Structure 1
Amino acid sequence: MPNFVSARSTSRFFSGEGVVLALAGAKLIFHLLTAGRYGIFRDELYYLACGEHLDCGYVDQPPLIALVAWTARHLFGDWLPGLRFFPALAGAATVWLAGKLALEMGGGAFAQVLAALAVICVPIYLVMHHWLTMNAFEPLVWMACVWCIIRAINRDDARYWIWFGVFTGIGMETKYGIAFFVVTVVIGLVLTRERRFLVTRQFWIGAAIAFLIFLPNLIWLIRHDFPFLELMRNIQETHRDVVRGPIVFVLEHRLARDVHRAPRQKLLSRLDLSVALRGRRNWLGKHYKYAREIGSRCLRNFGSSVDNHSRADCFTDPFARSGSRLPKDARLCATQS
Structure 2
Amino acid sequence: MTAVVAARTEPMAISDGHPEFAVRGVALMALISTIALTATAGRYDFFGDELYFLSAGRRLDYTYADQGVIVPLFARIADLLAPGSVTALRFPAVIMGVGAIVVAALIAYELRGSRRVQLLAAGTYATSYLLATQVALSTFSFDATLTAVITWLFIRWVRTRQDRLIVIAGLVAALDMQVKWMIPLVWACLGLGVILCGPREMLRRPALWVSTGILASSLIPILYWQSQHNWPQLAMGAIIGAEQDATGYGPIGFLPQWLGLAGFLGSLLIAVGFWGVCRQEALRPYRFIAVALVIMTTFVIITHGRPYYPTGFFPAMFALGAVALWRYDRKRWMNLAMIPTVVLTVLTFIASLTVLPLPPGWRTVPENAIDLGFRSAFWGTTNWTRMVAAVDAGYDTLTPAEKAHAVIIAQGYWQAGAVEQFGGQYDLPATYSPSRGFGFFGPPPDSATSVIYVGLDTAEPELRNRFERVERVAQVDDPMGIPGIDRMVAVWKCRGPKQRWSVAWDSMTTLYFDLGLWRDPKATTRPTR
- TM-score interval for Structure 1 and Structure 2 normalised by the shorter chain: 0.7 to 0.9
CA root-mean-square deviation: 2.9
> Is 1:56 matched up with 2:55?
no
Q: Which has the higher contact order (CA 8 A, sep 6+)?
A: 1
User: d(CA) in 2 for partners of 1:190 and 1:15?
Assistant: 31
Which residue of structure 1 lines up, in the alignment, with residue 162 of structure 2?
Answer: 157
| Contact map agreement 1:149 1:161 (CA 8 A) in 2 | yes
Q: Give the letter for the 2:144 counterpart.
A: P
Question: How far is the alpha carbon of 1:194 from its aligned partner?
Answer: 2.2
- Kindly indicate whether residue 228 of structure 2 is the aligned counterpart of residue 223 of structure 1: yes
Deviation at 1:155, TM superposition (A): 0.5
CA distance in 2, matches of 1:188, 1:84: 34
Pairwise CA distance, 1:240: 4.5
- Check conservation: 2:254, 2:307, Cα contact below 8 A: no
Could you say which residue in structure 2 is the equivalent of 1:194?
A: 199
Tell me the secondary structure at the aligned position of residue 100 of structure 1.
helix
Aligned counterparts of 1:230 and 1:36: Cα–Cα separation in 2: 34
Q: Give me the TM-score of the superposition, normalised by structure 1.
A: 0.72
Which of 52, 65, 68 is the equivalent residue of 2:71? Answer: 65
- Contact kept? 1:110, 1:327, Cα under 8 Å: no
Aligned to 1:273: none
Q: Within 5 A, what are the aligned runs for 1:1-337? A: 16-129=22-135, 131-236=136-241, 240-242=246-248, 244-245=250-251, 248=252, 308-329=307-328, 331=329, 333=331
Note if contact 1:56-1:220 (Cα within 8 Å) is conserved in structure 2: no
Aligned-partner Cα distance in 2 for 1:252–1:41: 23
Q: 2-side partners of 1:222 and 1:232: how far apart? A: 17
Secondary structure class of the residue paired with 1:54:
coil
Contact 2:167 2:210 in 1 (8 A): yes
- Report the CA distance shift for 1:211/1:112 in structure 2 as closer, same or farther (over 3 A): same
After superposition, the C-alpha distances for 1:93-134 in whole angstroms (9 at most, x for unaligned) are 1111110011111110110111111001111321221x1111
State which structure, 1 or 2, has the greater radius of gyration over its C-alpha atoms.
2
Does the Cα contact within 8 Å between 1:145 and 1:167 map onto a contact in 2?
yes
8 Å contact 2:117–2:322 — kept in the other structure?
yes
Residues in 1 aligned to 2:254 and 2:40: alpha-carbon distance in whole angstroms: 35
Shift of residue 333, structure 1, vs aligned partner:
4.0
Deviations, residues 215-273 of structure 1 (Å, cap 9, x unaligned): 2222212222220222333455676454634xx4787589868969xxxxxxxxxxxxx
Distance in structure 2 (CA, Å) of the matches to 1:115 and 1:235: 32
Query: Closer, same or farther in 2 for the Cα pair 1:126/1:198, shift >3 Å?
Result: same
Q: CA deviation at 1:85?
A: 1.2
Q: Could you give the per-residue CA deviations for residues 131-188 of structure 1, whole angstroms, max 9, x where no partner exists?
A: 1111211210111010011011110111111011012112222222222221111122
More helix by share: 1
Letter in 1 for 2:40: T
Q: Unpaired runs of 5+ in structure 1?
A: 1-13, 261-306
Q: Percent identity?
A: 24
CA contact (8 A) 1:118 1:319 kept: yes
SS of corresponding position for 2:43: coil
Mapped to 2, the partners of 1:251 and 1:38 lie a distance apart of 26
Mapped partners of 1:47, 1:251: distance in 2? 29
Contact 1:93–1:140 (CA under 8 A) maintained in structure 2? yes
| One-letter amino acid of the counterpart of residue 316, structure 2 | D
Tell me: CA distance 1:51–1:186, structure 2 relative to 1, closer, same or farther (3 Å).
same
CA contact (8 A) 1:32 1:88 kept: yes
Is residue 167–residue 208 contact of structure 2 (8 Å, CA) maintained in 1? yes
Q: Structure 1: which amino acid aligns with 2:61?
A: D
* Structure 1 residue identity aligned to 2:72: A
Structure 1 residue 78, shift from structure 2 partner: 2.8
Shift in Å at residue 209 of structure 1? 2.0
Separation in 2 of the partners of 1:17 and 1:214? 37
Count of residues paired in the alignment: 273
Question: What TM-score do you get using the length of structure 2 for normalisation?
Answer: 0.47
Between stretches 43-52 and 221-230, larger displacement belongs to 221-230
**Residues 212 and 70 of structure 1: is their aligned pair in 2 closer, same or farther, counting only changes over 3 Å?**
farther
- Equivalent residues of 2:100, 2:145 under 8 A apart: yes
In structure 2, the gaps of 5 or more residues are 1-19, 266-305, 333-529
